[in-house]
Amino acid sequence: MPLADSPLHRSGERSPSPRSGEDKGFPTRDAIVATARESIFKGSKSFAAASLLFDRRTRERAWLLYGWCRACDDLADGQDHGHELQAVTDAPERLAKITAFTQAALAGQWIGDPAFDGFRIVAAETRLPPRFARDLVAGFALDAEDWRPRNEEDLYLYCYHVAGVVGCMMAVVMGVPPEDEDTLDRACDLGMAFQLANIARDVAEDARGGRCYLPADWLAELGIPADDLLNPARRDQLAVLGRRLAERATRFEESAMGGTPALSFRSAWAVIAAARIYGQIAREVAARGPAAWDARVSTSGLDKLRFIAAAARDASGRERWRNIPRDVPWTRPR
């Protein structure tokens, strides 16, 4: 469906009322936070490691936001914490559930699902703009209709809807005013970098799940049929696109540093650490060339510690990035 027609974009639509917040016996905030913590440590060791650098309240809110994003993504893709992408046969029904539960959470209702109840909490505590949640759900709508990018512009729009907007939400969680559009642009850039790295790393896994996020005109340029990505004879050509994605990811990552002066030291430390840890994935894909998809690219525990230590030094000197040019090929819609 077109992005503007995503169910959460329709004015006046009412979602089901799962249960009233006046009811007794709901889990405490601490219990919901504990569930979200389990989710992030199971779903992403990189993000989990970086999240420990936040102050307690920001860390808990980051976990709650992650738990909702992870649950929506898993529901849309038939996955368990981001692993083993599967083709789903009931995509519209899954999207409808994500839409209804998210709308209810934004309305302050209890859902009875810890991921969505956690989102209800973090949205209420941070003045999170509802449009950001709607933009993320619109990204799931694209996957539900088996959408594929035609060109680089389409690729960036998709990356925004599934990750760039999460960067915007994380910035608000870290205390950035929702009206600070310039800092939100930089936060979006980091989400864009993460998603481009994801796409580069997961080309083979996505292909096995029947998906392709490489722009059609990129594939045509190199003579690669979209349904032949798993052919070993295509590895040299795919490596060209892996390097291209990594280069784009690096540009967005570098631009994102321009937003760190607006953050507290601990938030900047966490953001820079996550950027370096995740950025290493894109750089490793580029370095491995045709062998990039022989085994899943990841960052070792030792490398994570090294990036975290270096990020502390960078966070202390983050003022040097205040006026860094925003040299990226795309800007989020406002």
CB-based burial label for 166 (10 Å; 0-12, 13-18, 19+): buried
pLDDT at residue number 78: 74
65 pLDDT more than 60: yes
For the domain with range 27-128, which CATH number is right: 1.20.120.420, 1.10.3720.10, 3.10.20.600, 1.10.600.10?
Answer: 1.10.600.10
pLDDT at residue number 81: 54
pLDDT at residue number 87: 65
Q: CA 280 to CA 271: how far, in whole Å?
A: 14
Query: Domains of the chain: which residue ranges?
Result: 27-128, 148-334
Q: CA 47 to CA 270: how far, in whole Å?
A: 9
Which of 90 and 317 is assigned the larger pLDDT? 317
User: Mean of the pLDDT values across residues 8-14?
Assistant: 37
Instruction: Write out the CATH class of domain 148-334.
Output: mainly alpha
Kindly report, residue by residue over 304-315, the tens digit of the pLDDT.
Answer: 999 999 999 999
Rounded to 5°, the CA angle 107-4-93 comes to 65
Q: CA 299 to CA 35: how far, in whole Å?
A: 25
Kindly report, residue by residue over 250-279, the tens digit of the pLDDT.
Answer: 999 999 999 999 999 999 999 999 999 999
17 pLDDT more than 90: no
> Of 42-46, 156-160, 178-182, 275-279, where does mean pLDDT reach its minimum?
42-46
Q: pTM higher than 0.75, yes or no?
A: yes
Query: Does this chain's domain 27-128 share its CATH topology with 148-334?
Result: yes
Kindly report, residue by residue over 140-174, the tens digit of the pLDDT.
Answer: 999 888 899 999 999 999 999 999 999 999 999 99
pLDDT at residue number 150: 97
Distances (CA, A) of 86 to 43, 79, 83, 202: 16, 7, 9, 13
Q: Do the beta carbons of residue 64 and residue 33 sit within 8 Å?
A: yes
242 pLDDT more than 50: yes
Side-chain-side CA neighbours of 107 within 13 Å: the count stands at 20
Q: CA 257 to CA 232: how far, in whole Å?
A: 37
pLDDT confidence bin for 79, thresholds 50/70/90 = low
Q: CA 302 to CA 207: how far, in whole Å?
A: 31
